[in-house]
Every structure is written in structure tokens, then in C-alpha cells.
Amino acid sequence: ATPTALLVGTGRGAQLGILIKGPEVLESTRRVDTVVLDKTGTVTTGRMELVDVLLAPDQDRSEVLRLAGALEHSSEHPIAQAVARAALAAGKLPEVEDFGNVEGLGVQGIVDGHAVLVGRTQLLEEWSQHLPAELAHAKEHAEAEGSTAVAVGWDGQARAVLVVADTVKPTSTQAIKDLKALGLRPVLLTGDNEAVAQKVAAEVGIDEVIAEVLPAGKVDAVKKLQGEGRVVAMVGDGVNDAAALAQADLGLSMGTGTDVAIEASDLTLVRGDLRAAADAIRLARSTLRTIR
Ligand code: ADP
Ligand code: MG
């Protein structure tokens, strides 16, 4: 490969809204056969809205929203922003002390003297806060419908389930078609639950789903595919994707995503449009074909 031809390739990349870290990246791009896609913020817009508050018996909706909203106000997670926005619209939020992010599980902190948790059921269960059967049922129902649901608890008791919904980016379905047309195998990888993941996958045409993985599990999933002899591209936007982006043979970040993800990647899709992932691979193939 002559350096000049490769640089022409990267210049064309800039026109397509693809930033390439260095010309050598095109070589690994050409060999990719599997594309692992993060869900939230990559395949979906990541802009969630609070659509429902499901309460355990004797709980107060506005108190749930106030305490959970205050806590989520300190988190940058798309779920958190949806909850905080809805809570702020309902009134002023109290201060949070000892805020903590529990990676891939949720958040915790002290609000108005209460030890509050918001996140996966697993997080609340670690503190022996179990959802009452009826609430667990309602949560599963919301998830089966394709929504994301997180639990809220404080002072040793599970109190409510917050239902948020995210939407698939209008360009994602075409992007998956383009990737498949290039002979690539798309895989959806997410920390979210199986039902939500399957629903999104079906909507955009992805057949393979790896769900309910912790952020560390994202790296393992990429390694496992590599262990099967696959050459893996990973597309992600979040802090929780950074390690997997670095592990992948080719890391692609969303320009709309976090700086950590962008730094860990080889290639950035400036406009956050997934179709540019297929463009990048097509470009790498044709650039390298020209110079052979
Ligand atoms: P994704 O792969 O969808 O970007 P994450 O690893 O960021 O997922 O989060 C995994 C799961 O942990 C979320 O689907 C949610 O259930 C829970 N979670 C993480 N952060 C928060 C938060 N700030 N508030 C509520 N739930 C959270
Ligand atoms: Mg994400």
C-alpha cells in the first residue's frame, strides 16, 4: 500500500463524515467481517423519555419522581436524563450527597436523608430490596413491549419502576442493510435487558443479540468473537464502550458520543449516522483495491 493512495482514502473519508485516526486504520477496516453495535446512543437516538411510573403499594408518585429525579440529575446516562427532565418539570429537586455511579447497574446517593438507588433490579437486590410480585410483573410487561424499566428504592425498600422509551435512529435500518450487503455480520451488544434488545434488533434487522452484559462484559464479548476467528469492528458511543472499542480490531465511535469513546476508537462517524460505518468499510475496501 502506497502512503499517498491511503491518504487519498482518508481525505474521501472526511468528505463522508468519517474521521480516520491514521491511514494504517484502513488496512484493518478492510478485513472486518463482524460489526458489533452498542444499542443506546448508537443504534438508538439515546434520547429517552419517561413514559410511566409504576408504583409499589402505598407509594407516592411525586415523592418517587422527586427523589429518583434528584439522584439521576447527577448522572449523564440517557435514562437518567429522561428521569431528571421529567422530575424537574414537576418541581424543584433536592440536593444529593455521596452520589455514586455503579457501573452498568445504576446510581446511588443520599437524598433528603434517604439512601436512594435507581437502576437494574440486580442493583436493588444487592441491598435486599426486592420488587413486590405485581410490580415485577408490570416491569416485565413494559420490557416485553420494548421499553426500558429501572427500579427505584430507598431505605431498604423497593418503591417503584420508572419506564423510559428510546427510539431507533431513522438511519439505523438502512445502515444494517448496508452492512449486510457488504457481507458483514451485525451483532447487537447491550447492557440493557434481553426483551428490549430483541425488540430493537428485530426493528433494524439484526439477527444476533448479546444482552444484559456489564461494561466489562462488552470487552469479553468482543474477545470471544475474535477467539472464534472473526475480525471484529465495534461501534459505540459511551464511556462503557471504550474498552471494547480498544479491544476490537477496528473501533468506531459516534461523533455525538463521549470523548472517552472517541479517543478509544480508530475511526469516528462525525454525524453519529450509522450508515457511515458501512461507507467507511466500503471506502477502505475500494481504496486498497485501487492501490493493489
Ligand atoms: P447500554 O449498553 O444500554 O448503553 P449501560 O451499560 O450504560 O447500557 O447500562 C446498563 C443498564 O444499567 C441500563 O440499561 C440500566 O438498566 C442501568 N443503568 C445504568 N446507569 C443508570 C442510571 N443512571 N439510572 C438508571 N439505570 C441505570
Ligand atoms: Mg451507549
Boundary residue ending a domain (165, 196, 222): 165
**Number of domain units in the chain:** 2
Q: What is the CATH number of the domain that holds 25?
A: 3.40.50.1000
Domain co-membership, 148 together with 196: no
Boundary residue ending a domain (165, 183, 203): 165
Q: What is the CATH number of the domain that holds 80?
A: 3.40.1110.10
Domain co-membership, 39 together with 73: no
DSSP the chain: --HHHHHHHHHHHHHTTEEES-TTHHHHHHH--EEEEEIIIIIB----EEEEEEE-TT--HHHHHHHHHHHHTT--SHHHHHHHHHHHHHS----EEEEEEETTTEEEEEETTEEEEEE-HHHHHHTT-PPPHHHHHHHHHHHHTT-EEEEEEETTEEEEEEEEE--B-TTHHHHHHHHHHTT-EEEEE-SS-HHHHHHHHHHHT--EEE-S--HHHHHHHHHHHHHTT--EEEEE-SGGGHHHHHHSSEEEEETTS-HHHHHH-SEEETT--THHHHHHHHHHHHHHHHT-
pLDDT band with cut points at 50, 70 and 90 for residue 233: very high
Q: What tens digit of pLDDT does each residue of 27-78 get?
A: 888 899 999 999 999 999 988 899 999 999 999 999 999 999 999 999 989 8
pLDDT band with cut points at 50, 70 and 90 for residue 24: confident
Q: Which of 50, 121, 124, 192 to mutate to test the pocket of ligand 1 (most atoms within 8 A of CB)?
A: 192
Boundary residue ending a domain (124, 144, 165): 165
Q: Which listed ligand is nearest to 261 at the C-alpha?
A: 2
Q: What tens digit of pLDDT does each residue of 85-130 get?
A: 999 999 999 999 999 999 999 999 999 999 999 999 999 999 999 9
CA-nearest residue, atom 20 of ligand 1: 106
What residues make up the domain containing 81? 49-165
Domain co-membership, 155 together with 174: no
Predicted confidence at residue 1, as pLDDT, reads 45
Domain co-membership, 161 together with 172: no
Annotated catalytic, 38? yes
Domain co-membership, 175 together with 213: yes
CA-nearest residue, atom 4 of ligand 1: 40
Domain co-membership, 107 together with 154: yes
Predicted confidence at residue 22, as pLDDT, reads 81
Domain co-membership, 107 together with 121: yes
Above 70 in pLDDT, residue 289? no
Domain co-membership, 136 together with 55: yes
Q: What tens digit of pLDDT does each residue of 175-223 get?
A: 999 999 999 999 999 998 898 899 999 999 999 999 999 888 999 999 9
Q: Is 186 in the pocket of ligand 1 (CB under 6 A)?
A: no
